[in-house]
Amino acid sequence: MAIKLTDKIHTVAAGVDTVNKGSAQANAGREAYTLQDVSDLIGGGSADTNLGNSDLVQTGTGNRSYLLGTAGQSLSFVVPNGAAYPMLKLNVDNTVEFNGSIKFRVDTFTPADTRYLTLKAAGSLAGATSYKITLPGNIPTVNQQLSNLLNGELAWTDPASKVNLGTAPASATSAGEAGDVVWTADYIYVCTATDTWKRVAIATW
């Protein structure tokens, strides 16, 4: 007979002999199932499966995985506040959906530490055409800035002005291009030729 959600599972201590000693009448209502049978019952079928609200506990030292093997499948995390959409949704097409804000805490996180970076879509986006932001694929050089090329594609570009508040050249022969200007609290540095810097002191008056 097939396993059903209403079936009961009885367990016994490890030392109990499980050789079938029941009567033929009692055995007629019994069936042995494997954990795979239980897994197939819980995770099988085309309907949505509710994994419940129990804690997800990592046991052992190995990695754990959840396979999304069918087009259109997803794994959702929902908060019990009546929200219409999942708080977090992992899709089989390698996309992740967040409903709300994403917070990145500092590396030196402690329970009392409230420092974090928040990413959030503006409320005015509602009803508008969705768009994506693509980050640059290269590492920026000194004083480059992040610019939008087209349709949310970002790139590191040189600023229109070559005057920057930044790190002072370490020496008069530090890397630089003619026309670069860097100012600090004490000096203004001017690159007069490739890798050639001069500076002038500044003071209050």
What are 73-92's pLDDT values in tens digits? 788 888 776 667 788 888 88
152-198: pLDDT as tens digits = 889 988 776 677 777 889 999 998 888 888 888 899 999 999 999 99
Give the start-to-end residue ranges of the domains of the chain.
131-160, 162-205
3-state secondary structure the chain: CCCCCCCCCCCCCCCCCCCCCCCHHHHCCCCCCCHHHHHHHHHCCCCCCCCCCCCCCCCCCCCCCCCCCCCCCEEEECCCCCCCCCCEEEECCCCEEECCCEEEECCCCCCCCCCEEEECCCHHHCCCCCCCCECCCCCCCCCCEEEEEECCEEEEECCCCCEEECCCCCCCCCCCCCCCEEECCCEEEEEEECCEEEEEECCCC
| pLDDT given at position 152 | 80
pTM: 0.45
